[in-house]
Structure 1
Amino acid sequence: MGSLALSRVDLADPAPTIADEVARLARRELAPLASAIDAGSVYPGAFLRGLGSLGAWSSHVPQEGPADLCCAIQSIAALGEVCGATAFMAWCQNTLVWYAANSTNMKLASRFGDGFSSGRVLGGTGLSNPMKSFFGIERLKLKGRRVEGGYIVRGALPWVSNLGPDHYFGTIFEREDGGVAGEEPDGIARGEPGTVMFLADCSDPAISLQPCKPFLAMDGTGTYSVQFRDVFVADELILAAPAAPFVKRIRAGFILLQTGMGLGLMRDCINIMDEVHAPLGHVNRYLPQQPLQFRELHAEFEKEAMALARDPYNEDDSYWRRVVALRLRIGDATVAVAHAAMLHCGARGYLKSHRAQRRLREAYFVAIVTPATKQLRKMLADG
């Protein structure tokens, strides 16, 4: 009797994971919205907030030191299998949570940590320009100076995503005055700041969101040009000063979370090729790229991503190079598999109503979002 009961337990389906629940909601609620999000007529704010109740934005929050990004990457991939734009916004939200969770500013963490990780407060990451700046591609576009209780910040960022009038995002300014040692707010690392990372509050009247020109894809991602007109940034909004050591701590997580976008999109492009196998397999077999090779590549990428995601604070150069190399390979493969899916579909994939053409347009975004393919190659070349 006991052995029979044990066998029943062994055969029982395991409890659904957070990623399983995200996938279920994506198929049921997100799939009908995907085309409208792509076209820019819908920003899925309510859906994103709802994911917070599942734990989609909190699974990677460090627990007494360690952090594990596996569940977050799997959840982003589940969304990416249905809608690349929403997977990108999920990355934005998860990255915002990652910033707050790693800040030593306890006032900021207590004020925003739960709001971000629960999805009650949405937002994004304004590190496109700073990430390029740290690797010698651009100059920082925001400037700031110290005043009593905070900083005054001015400048403009051309593209920041997952924003709205009540959203937040993290970004970095360069100090015009260079900084004086010891004047940083409590809880922030001491030293010559040079650069400061902070949370920007989109509801601040001195911050304005300007809609961008239409994109090739993913127009419903809440992407704006952001103007800072002498914005007062209180000490309670400072993530890190100086910013560089903080960026080094969070950079692996920043990039690894992006792998979910590519993994999800790859999986759906493989599905598309499988779907047209019955009617078109007799001629598609002559195409050089087949679903089997992409399935094997996807499995390889997923295994490497999960291994790296369990140790995001690893400071070894070899680990960092593995992170960058994986992100580069996923970007290249995402474009390749989406291209192959279009060729497998033939004329039917060329219809606006078919998702194959949307997946191809989304795939190019995976290759150009910061850090883009060319920046990743530069990073590896620079060592």
Structure 2
Amino acid sequence: MRERIMGSLALSRVEAVDQPAPSLVDEVARIAREALAPLAAGIDAGSVYPAEVLRQFGKVGAWGSHVPQEGPADLRCAIQSMAAIGEVCGATAFMAWCQTTLVWYAANSTNLRLAKRFGDGFSTGRLLGGTGLSNPMKSFFGIEKLKLKGRKVEGGYIVRGALPWVSNLGPDHYFGTIFEREDEPGLVMFLADCADPAITLTPCKPFLAMDGTGTYGVQFRDAFVPDDLILADPAGPFVNKIRAGFILLQAGMALGVIRDCTNIMDEVAAPLGHVNRYLPQQPENFRDLAAELEAETMALARDPYNADETYWRKVIALRLRAGEVSVAAAHAAMLHCGARGYLKSHRAQRRLREAYFVAIVTPATKQLRKMLADA
């Protein structure tokens, strides 16, 4: 197993990983340890949605570091901040990705009225929300059909349809998604306002993990979407611009899970090292893998608007490896812990369930492999 993963991670070595804005990342890590850690079990079980902690992260700048500054954008600090959150709670790292992706949408929209109205609210955490691009991203690669339809009316569009899963939502939240026009060919990306009475949030059936992520099924019943909430019309060029950032930001979830799985293996080294040394995967193996993933992530995250197809393939391949290494690290942590990791009270089993989520959240492992094959 280790040989397969090591082989798949034939990355060009970087002498040292650039650590952007350490003061912000350190502050995010502090909040994660002090305010988030006590909530992690409740978030995993679904009894807690950590809205106030998400706002704390926003206040110190965790959601706004990747906002483009006069053209260029840099995702490194956002990814490092997300990884610091993920070391404590994978579910909250996922919500961090939802929020930073929502900021990414607004920051890249050519609708200047929308950007001005929502940009600061999203980036500071005053307004929370998510990303409803799971179905559209699958549709772009021939896996699903678009589930939302819209038609032009005076001042906006009327939208109908349903999305099965959208996360980091609540009655006062927003999320970005895409509908297909019924009146003429074309795709439109927009912000959905969960407070709209024509938009209904329905709780999902319990998940294997991460039930505190504010995940709902969303029904649009002839909802009016005003022009002020249109992110991009047409959506195609906009998606091409934001797609690398959408995927690269997910690396923060993976890095956080991998780091803590390595920590778990280290923690049981004293009592169990005499027998764990016979296991084929050791914590130092995953430290090396995480360092390689982080180095390549930081290199790619400096240039998220790169339109070169070679760059795009590197982004897809990196995301694929991140999911695979997450699962392998969590699997190894469970084996290192033995029976104690099998207890519900031990975080090793939570990490295993969170790692599987990294591997199946859109774009999932199978979609990423299809994307590479089609590219």
Asked if structure 1 preserves the Cα contact closer than 8 Å seen for 2:316 and 2:368, the reply is yes
1:226 paired to 2:218: yes
What CA distance in whole angstroms lies between the structure 1 residues aligned with 2:116 and 2:267? 48
| Residues 15, 201 of structure 1: alpha-carbon distance in 2 compared, 3 angstrom cutoff | closer
- 1:199 aligns to what SS in structure 2? strand
Match of 2:233 among 237, 241, 245: 241
Q: Percent identical across equivalent pairs?
A: 82
Structure 1 unaligned runs (5+)?
1-13, 180-193
Normalised by the size of structure 2, how large is the TM-score? Answer: 0.94
CA drift at 1:15: 8.6
Matching residue of 1:66: 72
Asked if structure 1 preserves the Cα contact closer than 8 Å seen for 2:147 and 2:179, the reply is yes
Amino acid at match of 1:156: A
CA drift at 1:50: 1.1
What CA distance in whole angstroms lies between the structure 1 residues aligned with 2:87 and 2:292? 17
CA drift at 1:17: 1.6
Matching residue of 2:176: 170
1:104 paired to 2:96: no
CA deviation digits over 1:353-379, x for unaligned, max 9? 000000000000000000000000000
CA deviation digits over 1:284-330, x for unaligned, max 9? 01111111111100000000000000000000001000000000001
CA deviation digits over 1:230-256, x for unaligned, max 9? 000000000001111111100000000
What CA distance in whole angstroms lies between the structure 1 residues aligned with 2:59 and 2:127? 12
Match of 1:149 among 152, 155, 177: 155
Match of 2:250 among 246, 258, 261: 258
CA deviation digits over 1:8-51, x for unaligned, max 9? xxxxxx99521110001101111110000000000000010111
Structure 2 unaligned runs (5+)?
1-19
Matching residue of 1:44: 50
What CA distance in whole angstroms lies between the structure 1 residues aligned with 2:238 and 2:194? 23
CA drift at 1:160: 0.1
Matching residue of 2:95: 89
Q: Could you list the structure 1 runs, at least 4 aligned residues long, displaced by more than 3 angstroms after superposition.
A: none
What CA distance in whole angstroms lies between the structure 2 residues aligned with 1:50 and 1:359? 24
What CA distance in whole angstroms lies between the structure 1 residues aligned with 2:77 and 2:319? 17
Matching residue of 2:343: 351
Matches within 5 A, 1:4-43: 16-43=22-49
Amino acid at match of 1:88: F
What CA distance in whole angstroms lies between the structure 2 residues aligned with 1:355 and 1:51? 23
| Residues 176, 125 of structure 1: alpha-carbon distance in 2 compared, 3 angstrom cutoff | same
Normalised by the size of structure 1, how large is the TM-score? Answer: 0.92
Matching residue of 1:116: 122
Bigger-Rg structure (1/2)? 1
What CA distance in whole angstroms lies between the structure 1 residues aligned with 2:332 and 2:61? 35
Matching residue of 1:4: none
CA deviation digits over 1:82-103, x for unaligned, max 9? 0000000000000000000000
Matches within 5 A, 1:231-380: 231-380=223-372
CA drift at 1:178: 1.3
How many pairs were matched up? 356
CA drift at 1:52: 1.0
What CA distance in whole angstroms lies between the structure 2 residues aligned with 1:17 and 1:364? 31
Matching residue of 1:199: 191
Amino acid at match of 1:138: E
What CA distance in whole angstroms lies between the structure 1 residues aligned with 2:223 and 2:74? 35
What CA distance in whole angstroms lies between the structure 2 residues aligned with 1:21 and 1:61? 19
What CA distance in whole angstroms lies between the structure 1 residues aligned with 2:21 and 2:255? 23
What CA distance in whole angstroms lies between the structure 2 residues aligned with 1:354 and 1:50? 27
What CA distance in whole angstroms lies between the structure 2 residues aligned with 1:123 and 1:372? 21
